[in-house]
């Protein structure tokens, strides 16, 4: 079946994903358009082929390309404000995966985190993608799709810096600086509140 050619980009974290006719893999290009270093993390669906590495450092302006198998469900996010403590344990102020290391090794992001979600070769052999704030927000993210053969491969994402405008009751701050925003659902434990 024809596969669409998709490239995904995130402002700040920019993802590129491409799949080609007759090729059994898809390429994600993750580009950091932030002014600061980010630490992307990757979580795959249960019992599916791992993308490696599961977490890495990406300096401002740099990119890294990863190859996924033809059928692949998974999500990307990016950690910010990471450091090692005196015992060598790695952690991040936002979107930490709790592994204690740069690699997430099967652990997902601790909310709040902006998520890019993918299902490659899903229903009818199509590739699906979205950027979700269901787990809150920590940085702008854009998925850019190019060269699709089945149409509808639009860019999608959230390119606004919501950390500046996040309401006080949802804001995660470091000093005076907003660094993330919790989802109302998670913050209030109540899906009715928006
Ligand atoms: C993953 O594999 C394990 C062990 O084979 C199995 O118990 C589990 O149900 C599988 N999970 C899914 C979601 O398929
Ligand atoms: C933390 O330590 C790891 C392992 O030595 C290293 O790869 C990584 O770059 C360090 N990260 C930071 C933010 O210092």
Q: Whose CA is nearest to atom 12 of ligand 2?
A: 83
Residues with CB under 6 A from ligand 1: 46-47
Rounded to the nearest angstrom, the distance between the alpha carbon of 113 and the centre of ligand 2 is: 21
Q: Which residue has the higher pLDDT, 161 or 103?
A: 103
Cα separation, 181 vs 3, whole angstroms: 36
pTM (2 decimals)? Answer: 0.85
- Ligand 2 atom nearest 57 alpha carbon: 9
According to the model, what pLDDT value does residue 24 have?
A: 62
Question: Is the domain covering 5-162 a CATH 3.30.70.120 domain?
Answer: no
Return the closest-CA partner of residue 62 out of 95, 37, 41: 37
Confidence of residue 183 (pLDDT cuts 50, 70, 90): very high
State the distance between the two ends of the chain, measured CA to CA, in whole angstroms. Answer: 42
Residue range 105-139, pLDDT digits in tens:
989 999 999 999 999 888 988 888 999 999 999 99
Give the percent of the chain with pLDDT over 70: 84
According to the model, what pLDDT value does residue 148 have?
A: 67
Pocket test for ligand 1, best of 46, 49, 50, 73 (most atoms within 8 A of CB): 46
| Position 89 pLDDT exceeds 90 | yes
- Ligand 2 atom nearest 39 alpha carbon: 13
How far is residue 9 from each of residues 31, 65, 99, 101, measured CA to CA in Å?
Answer: 7, 12, 26, 25
- Ligand 2 atom nearest 82 alpha carbon: 13
CB 93 within 8 A of CB 179: yes
């Amino acid at each position: 079946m024809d596969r669409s050619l998709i490239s995904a980009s995130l402002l700040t974290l920019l993802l590129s994903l491409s799949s080609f006719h007759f090729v059994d893999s898809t390429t994600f290009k993750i580009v950091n358009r932030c002014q600061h270093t980010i630490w992307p993390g990757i979580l795959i669906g249960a019992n599916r082929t791992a993308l490696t590495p599961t977490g890495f450092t990406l300096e401002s302006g740099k990119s890294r390309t990863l190859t996924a198998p033809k059928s692949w469900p998974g999500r990307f996010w990016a950690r910010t404000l990471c450091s090692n403590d005196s015992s060598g344990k790695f952690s991040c102020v936002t979107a930490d995966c709790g592994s204690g290391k740069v690699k997430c090794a099967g652990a997902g992001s601790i909310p709040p985190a902006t998520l890019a979600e993918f299902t490659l070769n899903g229903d009818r052999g199509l590739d699906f993608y979205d950027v979700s704030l269901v787990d809150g927000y920590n940085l702008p993210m854009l998925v850019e799709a190019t060269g699709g053969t089945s149409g509808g491969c639009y860019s999608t994402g959230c390119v606004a810096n919501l950390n500046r405008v996040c309401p006080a009751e949802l804001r995660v701050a470091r000093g005076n600086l907003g660094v993330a925003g919790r989802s109302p659902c998670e913050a209030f434990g109540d899906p009715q509140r928006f």
